[in-house]
Amino acid sequence: MPETTAPRVAPLPKHQRSPSAQALLEGVSVAGSEANIFTTLIRAEGLTRRWMPFGGKLLAGKLPPRERELLILRTAWNCRADYEWAQHTGLGLAAGLSEDEIARIPAGPDGGWDPFDAALLAAADELHDSCELSDTIWNVLSSRYDEAQLIELPMLVGHYHMVAMTLKTLRVQLDPGLTGLPTKPA
């Protein structure tokens, strides 16, 4: 647990941004305003410029949006990543998850899910715990997903682990109006 929750790296104010940094940030917003994730990470402009297309590709990838958000939210829960949870709760609702389903994500695969959703949650858990999928989960996923989706799934979960580590280490603050992780599973 951190001693303080103050940001270690503050968002870069507009007046300090280079023209290229400002141009990059103009292409991204959350609910019409600048998000702390982007205004903080832009301090490493070259890295952020290369990272953003990869993250964007995963958000518009081969996995069905609802299933993608289920995986991301379970990863956020596993990593105890408030910022990720806060941002992806809204994205999850927009992708077709219900409020009840989002409330059950902390309970994991045993939270009353249909078999495929339970396998997705178990996949996020296995990747978190051992960095690989068991044959059991792989077989369930491969019954529905093609090769491209099977490649994308661990890359998605791994990407959001990286994002969680970065945001938690930098102590990026929640954007106004957002709520972090629930205090306990439903």
Q: Please indicate, yes or no, if residue 162 is contained in any of the structural domains.
A: yes
Question: Is the pLDDT confidence value at 140 over 70?
Answer: yes
- pLDDT, one tens digit per residue, over 62-79 is 999 999 999 999 999 999
Q: What is the CA radius of gyration of the chain?
A: 17
Residues in the chain: 186
Q: Please indicate, yes or no, if residue 22 is contained in any of the structural domains.
A: no
Q: Please indicate, yes or no, if residue 134 is contained in any of the structural domains.
A: yes
Question: Is the pLDDT confidence value at 3 over 90?
Answer: no
How distant, in Å, are the alpha carbons of 65, 66, 70 from that of 151? 16, 18, 17
- pLDDT, one tens digit per residue, over 108-136 is 999 999 999 999 999 999 999 999 999 99
The CATH number covering residue 111 comes to 1.20.1290.10
Domain interval for residue 163: 65-168
- pLDDT, one tens digit per residue, over 7-16 is 999 999 999 9
Q: Please indicate, yes or no, if residue 127 is contained in any of the structural domains.
A: yes
Q: Please indicate, yes or no, if residue 87 is contained in any of the structural domains.
A: yes
Note the pLDDT of residue 34: 85
Look at the chain and report how many structural domains it folds into: 1
Q: Please indicate, yes or no, if residue 9 is contained in any of the structural domains.
A: no
Q: Please indicate, yes or no, if residue 155 is contained in any of the structural domains.
A: yes
Instruction: Output phi, psi for 30, to 5 deg.
Output: -125, 120
Q: Please indicate, yes or no, if residue 101 is contained in any of the structural domains.
A: yes
Residue 97 burial (C-beta neighbours within 10 Å; 0-12, 13-18, 19+): buried
Q: How far apart are the first and last CA of the chain?
A: 23
- pLDDT, one tens digit per residue, over 17-59 is 999 999 999 877 665 678 999 999 999 999 999 999 999 999 9
